[in-house]
Chains A and B, each alone.
Chain A
């Protein structure tokens, strides 16, 4: 059942059907498009803010809209999404409020991570979206452990574990996939192969196709065109349903391309050819999908522009709100290290705040902890 349902590609570069028609509901088809557009609009605005010096760091999602939206749309609400570095747009679709997204970019007092992480390291507990780490691959074993916990507790939730091509070399990949296969847990590992780990191309990352790595763990593995939202959705859906029904993990490689640098601090022109970038630009996931939807009559003339304008307005409103928010309270320096702030941290903070007060840098509420 599983293999038959997975087509490596459903839409060609022009957006014409080249695989089995998934026969999805038109409402869902349109929704997927709006979500992809939201990813692109958020990306565009965040990059603009970064260039203007308003936010510190952005990991661009440009080019990856189909990979993240197609895969995450195949999950149920109770499923978990474990993020690598670039799935923030999919988190928005699954319930992360835009306000929290932008607050995190500003690291202001509305940031649920209290400004302790770099920008672009998101989380949203209510939609089962754990806090990202900057460390590569560490989330993979977490996803496996959480999936085992779910299994032991009799829950059928699926854990979608995302990572990039570079993370296949990490400790977490090797132990995570091995443990998952031995333990037979409900994990779908999504390798977003975007061609580059910062400046390291896939040929320098490993000598094998990523999809072959499944064999090392006795695990079912497939590769699909990650710029094809329908192929991505169908493949993920099939593997998620299999994981849920049979409690078997699987690896899905989403072949795509990171159109911009690794982050706003990176200049990809230093290590890759423009010709390669141009080649992938021709396979743009949104253009391709828009072509399909137009042909199907789901997207009318000028509708894409209307959707974009509406999304940008929402985003700009939220940017204005978050920019006006207060900065993070100083006490968060020592809070959340433990459940309770222990005495030595209270003392260290009190010494710090005494100096801050002397220099007139403290605000009301920043005062000392009782000892």
Chain B
């Protein structure tokens, strides 16, 4: 066990996977000597050489497209997109190609690859270094979408994603890169995809969240406890495919649900959680489902702390559904 930041855990996860399997390669912009703009890949080129960890020219389309070809031909690529905001030149490759290759070829061709990319706000990155684009990708059958929120999960989910037979978009909440620390087992281990982590038990209100919203929701839950409201906080961890049964089970326990994400609300992931509950467990609901999300605007810079859901907005929603 080592006490690592989320960023160090990711770095450890990549090194572990690369030591385990020679076919794992890592590439992207500035991931080599520079060690990535966040230093997530620091020391990897030094340990594994520039054939297994290398920089590419500046083209996300090229990065994702080449990753698909490598995966089709026997490598296990980890492609880093420097910011999720810059993924869109590669969007065509992800949505049109990676996600559909297995289906359109009847499993003759597959692309087990991981696209790692930092996402979300909280670092004063303005419109183009802050977005949470998970909903675009969760609308894409064939893709898996994974988001860790603790160092333990970051390493275990990343190794599981690298070993997964399908393409995984691995979204890293960059606000948590250095702000959370935790115990991380040494060597190889995995955390199963499509499993929910119970962050905190509670009988009164259920809060679903993921990524950088997990510590926010936990903080709001503490404040609620002081007011006598016991909040059950759940970290979804894998958005696609989602543990829908788990969602329903936790929702039914309290009958009062809040969903928190920093992405915009309209067509956001919270809508899917709400629809799943409304379709399957409406008779258990004691209150309307509440969503606490980013606004339906581009991401601001100066006022980003107002844009991002904070503990008071989450607490407000908890109190609202509790009092209903």
Chain A interface: which of B7-15, B58-66, B149-157?
B58-66
Report if B190 contacts A (CB, 8 A). Answer: no
Q: Which of A172, A182, A337, A343 contacts B65 (CB 8 A)?
A: A172
Would B102 and A152 count as touching, CB distance under 8 A? no
Would B97 and A113 count as touching, CB distance under 8 A? no
Would B70 and A149 count as touching, CB distance under 8 A? yes
Would B141 and A145 count as touching, CB distance under 8 A? no
Q: State the CA gap A339–B89 with chains docked (Å).
A: 27
Would B104 and A179 count as touching, CB distance under 8 A? no
Would A152 and B62 count as touching, CB distance under 8 A? no
Q: What residues of chain B lie closer than 8 Å to A10, measured between beta carbons? A: none
Given contacts A146-B72, A152-B25, are A112 and B108 in contact (CB under 8 A)? yes
Q: Mark A331-351, 1 if CB is under 8 A from B, else 0.
A: 000001111001110000000
Q: Which of A140, A338, A343 has the most CB of B within 10 A?
A: A338
Closest to A124 in B: B108
Given contacts A135-B92, A336-B102, A337-B103, are A149 and B65 in contact (CB under 8 A)? no
Closest to A82 in B: B69
Q: State the CA gap A171–B74 with chains docked (Å).
A: 24
Q: Which of B66, B165, B245 has the most CB of A within 10 A?
A: B66
Would B25 and A138 count as touching, CB distance under 8 A? no
Would B102 and A113 count as touching, CB distance under 8 A? no
Would A142 and B97 count as touching, CB distance under 8 A? yes
Report if B236 contacts A (CB, 8 A). Answer: no
Would B97 and A138 count as touching, CB distance under 8 A? yes
Report if A36 contacts B (CB, 8 A). Answer: no
Q: Which of A113, A145, A148, A179 has the most CB of B within 10 A?
A: A145
Q: What residues of chain A lie closer than 8 Å to B66, measured between beta carbons? A: 141-142, 144-145, 148, 175-176, 179
Given contacts A133-B97, A342-B194, A344-B244, are A117 and B61 in contact (CB under 8 A)? no
Closest to A149 in B: B73
Report if B196 contacts A (CB, 8 A). Answer: no
Would B105 and A131 count as touching, CB distance under 8 A? yes
Report if B68 contacts A (CB, 8 A). Answer: yes
Q: Mark B79-96, 1 if CB is under 8 A from A, else 0.
A: 000000000010011001
Interface of A is mostly: helix
Smallest CB–CB gap between B18 and chain A, Å?
A: 13
Would A343 and B244 count as touching, CB distance under 8 A? yes
Would A150 and B109 count as touching, CB distance under 8 A? no
Q: What residues of chain B lie closer than 8 Å to A171, measured between beta carbons? A: 59, 61-62, 89, 92
Would B97 and A153 count as touching, CB distance under 8 A? no
Q: State the CA gap A178–B70 with chains docked (Å).
A: 16
Report if B166 contacts A (CB, 8 A). Answer: yes
Q: What residues of chain B lie closer than 8 Å to A146, measured between beta carbons? A: 69-70, 72-73
Q: Mark A166-197, 1 if CB is under 8 A from B, else 0.
A: 00000110111011001000000000000000
Q: Which of A145, A174, A338 contacts B102 (CB 8 A)?
A: A338
Smallest CB–CB gap between A217 and chain B, Å?
A: 10
Within 8 A of B (CB), among A200-251: none
Report if B101 contacts A (CB, 8 A). Answer: yes
Q: What residues of chain A lie closer than 8 Å to B73, measured between beta carbons? A: 145-146, 149-150
Report if A114 contacts B (CB, 8 A). Answer: yes
Q: Which of A123, A125, A133 contacts B96 (CB 8 A)?
A: A133
Q: What residues of chain A lie closer than 8 Å to B109, measured between beta carbons? A: 123, 125, 130-131
Given contacts A336-B106, A337-B141, are A138 and B65 in contact (CB under 8 A)? yes
Closest to A112 in B: B106
Q: State the CA gap A81–B236 with chains docked (Å).
A: 42
Q: What residues of chain B lie closer than 8 Å to A338, measured between beta carbons? A: 102, 142, 144, 165-166, 241
Given contacts A149-B75, A342-B194, are A337 and B104 in contact (CB under 8 A)? no
Closest to A135 in B: B96
Q: State the CA gap A344–B67 with chains docked (Å).
A: 28
Report if B53 contacts A (CB, 8 A). Answer: no
Q: State the CA gap A149–B27 with chains docked (Å).
A: 13
Smallest CB–CB gap between A341 and chain B, Å?
A: 10
Q: What residues of chain B lie closer than 8 Å to A133, measured between beta carbons? A: 96-97, 104
Q: What residues of chain B lie closer than 8 Å to A149, measured between beta carbons? A: 69-70, 73-75
8 closest residue pairs by CB, A with B: A141-B65, A145-B69, A175-B62, A145-B66, A142-B69, A146-B73, A131-B105, A175-B59
What are 29 A-B contacts with C-beta separation under 8 Å?
A123-B108, A130-B72, A131-B108, A131-B109, A138-B65, A140-B65, A141-B65, A142-B69, A142-B97, A143-B69, A144-B66, A145-B70, A146-B73, A148-B70, A149-B70, A149-B73, A149-B74, A152-B25, A153-B74, A175-B61, A175-B62, A175-B65, A179-B56, A336-B105, A337-B102, A338-B102, A342-B241, A343-B241, A343-B244
Extra pairs beyond A141-B93, A174-B59 (10, CB < 8 Å): A123-B105, A138-B93, A140-B65, A141-B62, A145-B72, A146-B70, A175-B66, A337-B103, A339-B102, A344-B244
